[in-house]
Amino acid sequence: MIVFNITSPDTGITCELQQKIDNLTKPKGSLGTLETLAMQIGLIQQTLSPSLRKPVNIIFAADHGIADEGVSKSPKEVTRQMISNFLDGGAGICFLARQHGFQLKVVDAGVDYVFSPDPRIINHKIRKGTRNFLHESAMTISEMELALQYGADLVTECHHNGSNIISFGEMGIANTAASSMWMTCLTDIPLPDCVGAGSGLDDEGVRHKQQVLQAALDNYKGDHSVLNVMRYFGGYEMVMAVGGMLRAAELKMVILVDGFIMTNCVLAASKLYPEVLSYCIYGHCGDESGHKKLLEILHATPLLHLGLRLGEGTGAICAYPIVDSAVRMINRMHSFSKASVTKYF
């Protein structure tokens, strides 16, 4: 099993950072969340002049065996069709990545389809979709370990190429079902509070989804450890994201967190290494049922409330300009002394 060496940021420069923020030409605290973000990023990077370099969004794509139980409105083939849409630049994440200067990486983590060789697809296919967790574990121990390693290695590559801020997205029909299982098992929040409409189920569809997931939970005979829950109910794309998040924290990168599925990946990562939370900035609170409760469990304050529930990393990248503004604030605003302005607080 891959081991990570993650430490919380050294707080030794907290007073200096706060002093710099407080001495910018503004009333103390008047830039609110921007000041909080500047402090967090300064601590992550251990500098009074933080920077954001070469942002990357990695999309992990994989299929889920539980999709065979009709828990999603969308058919399984949408996963591989969306891969083509990502490559053609036509997906929601694509225009946002272009708008905000993110490099987009697309990873086949386990799509139930054989793609023609294409250098734009990172081939880390573990299997053509997970097994159906209604009846058996979604993946083997070795498959889970490989997924963690693949996710970590991709982030290492991004870091070596100069990136210090990263977000993760996903594509996988039925992965809200898998995420709901992680949520209920790792938080003890009742399953009905964790299950939502996913890609657009109606009320009857949500009831069916909940019934299937309850049956899967009743059939589960595992030990309820974090790794066992991840393996039994997870998707390859989700486990790769966990590995990526843990490596990003180990490398002291800023992690922009997307919606319900990626927040569940943070939850799982934090159960393994609580220190990962210091590196996370939560992009938004989405409309998927359970996301708000999950953020509360993590004591997380999302930057945006836009009614998003697309995934792919869209909510994380939408929030990036706010993070960028925080860094520009601490670096580009004048101090009272430099501006020859009398302190007015």
At residue 85, the 3 state secondary structure works out as helix
The four Cα atoms 79, 282, 184, 60 give a dihedral, to 10 degrees, of 20
Q: Please identify which residue in the block is written with the tokens 């009074």.
A: 48
Closest CA to 265 of 177, 189, 174, 168: 168
Identify whether 312 is a catalytic site residue: yes
End-to-end CA distance of the chain: 54
What is the DSSP track for 198-217?
A: TTT--HHHHHHHHHHHHHHH
* φ, ψ of residue 154 in degrees (nearest 5): -65, -40
User: Which among 35, 143, 237, 312 is annotated as catalytic?
Assistant: 312
* φ, ψ of residue 220 in degrees (nearest 5): -70, 125
Q: Quick one: angle between helices 314-332 and 32-45, nearest 10?
A: 90
Closest CA to 226 of 262, 177, 266: 266
Closest CA to 329 of 49, 19, 10: 49
Those residues with Cβ within 8 angstroms of residue 299's Cβ, 6 or more apart along the chain or in another chain: none
Rounded-to-integer distance, Cα 341 and Cα 332, Å: 16
Q: What is the set of active-site residues? A: 312
